[in-house]
Amino acid sequence: MLTYLSDYSALLGPLNLFRYITFRTAGATGTALLFVLFFGPGIISALRLKQGKGQPIREDGPQSHLLTKKGTPTMGGLMILSGVIVSTLLWANPRSAYIWIVLFVTLGFGAIGFYDDYLKVTKQSHKGFSGRARLLGELIIAAVACYFMMCASLTPPVASMADFFTALAAPFNASAPATKLAVPFVNGFLMNLGWFFLGFGAFVIVAAGNAVNLTDGLDGLAIVPSMIAAGAFAIIAYLAGNSIFASYLGINYVAGTGELAIICGALIGAGLGFLWFNAPPAQIFMGDTGSLALGGMLGAVAVAIKHEIVLIIVGGLFVLEALSVIVQVTSFKLTGKRVFRMAPIHHHFEQLGWSEPQIVIRFWIVSFVLALIGLATLKVR
């Protein structure tokens, strides 16, 4: 909302700064960080009081977790989400449809994760509610978001919110800009998915949400790669939403998506604040409330800016974690043998004797390198 202050720049020159996405992204990052640091202790105390025994730990997992992590409160994703939402609403342009779409996915996935965490805590079991019901809810939220993105891509970025909601009532346009898939390393090639965009986009968002969720198993393992990916997509969103930069780089221009850099910046700030309390030994876990929401947010941003394939590179660590589970389950069902000592793969390295800090920091390094590779796709065309 602070962007409206730029309307009065004629009266006070410095207010013109609020026009710039870069300035507001920095403001969103700082605001989210301070918000989480200030309110974090109170949230942790409240969750510890409500949850009692805290998050249940898998008995078939590494035995060290039963000793060091048992009783730690979960649902710390509430800290991250509150920081992201407050900061985004304060610094983003509310006329940007994409901001509301990504917030819709973030809150929707966060609500599903919160309910799952609630069941785990109240039942003192690592199993939440039905996997099928959870997946169905995620798919519905993601598909609705993809439909909104299609409508937003048909609406000029300078239009009012009333114009945007008018566009929502229009018949589905299978040739809308949002339905086109861009391919990295290839300049100017766009594949029109038509009606399949709803399914494809929903799959990307749901897959991202669950991949981050699977990664969240060690202190700091999921949050820092999420922040790194958010930083990469903040840059890409800013460039893709600027017609001059998009034309120069040969990437798909998506009008109005530059504002998504602000929500990515808010994620970075809130993530830094959460990491302050999540650093080993963790005072709180983000739980499914945070991991599902963060993954869904990254997936929604990637779909909005038409860099779905680049998400596979930037979020390669999350992809690796998810694939390790798929390979493990498939191998065991077909052959009765396990490929890894334990899945997801970070537990495999624990079983090999790597310490938790070794795994976490090395995975951070891998995530950072993958983000650089993903950003390199902008120029290598």
pLDDT means over runs of 10, the chain (381 residues):
72 81 96 96 85 57 55 87 96 91 96 90 71 92 92 62 57 66 76 86 96 91 95 96 89 89 97 91 89 96 94 96 94 88 90 91 96 90 65
Query: Which residue matches tokens 């169905």?
Result: 136
Q: Are 279 and 271 in contact (CB under 8 A)?
A: no
In angstroms, rounded to a whole number, what is the distance separating the alpha carbons of residues 265 and 355?
31
Output the six-digit token pair for 263. Answer: 């929500």
Output the six-digit token pair for 241. Answer: 């939403």
pLDDT of residue 199: 92
Burial class (CB in 10 A: 0-12, 13-18, 19+), 33: buried
Domain-embedded: residue 295: yes
- Count Cα neighbours of 285 within 13 Å in the Cβ-side half-sphere: 28
Which amino acid type is present at position 118?
Y
In angstroms, rounded to a whole number, what is the distance separating the alpha carbons of residues 345 and 216?
11
Our count of domains for the chain comes to 1
In angstroms, rounded to a whole number, what is the distance separating the alpha carbons of residues 369 and 69?
30
Domain-embedded: residue 381: no
* Enclosing domain of residue 200: 2-376
In angstroms, rounded to a whole number, what is the distance separating the alpha carbons of residues 30 and 70?
32
For 79, 101, 112, 152, 160, the CA distances from 257, given in Å and listed in that order, are: 26, 11, 26, 10, 15
pLDDT of residue 164: 57
Domain-embedded: residue 78: yes
Query: Which residue matches tokens 């986009």?
Result: 201
List pLDDT tens digits, range 242-275.
Answer: 989 988 888 888 888 999 999 999 999 999 999 9
Domain-embedded: residue 309: yes
pLDDT of residue 95: 85
Domain-embedded: residue 33: yes
Tell me which H or E stretch contains 311.
Answer: helix 308-314
Q: Are 209 and 299 in contact (CB under 8 A)?
A: yes
Domain-embedded: residue 370: yes
Query: Which residue matches tokens 């040739």?
Result: 175
Which amino acid type is present at position 87?
S
Q: Are 281 and 327 in contact (CB under 8 A)?
A: no
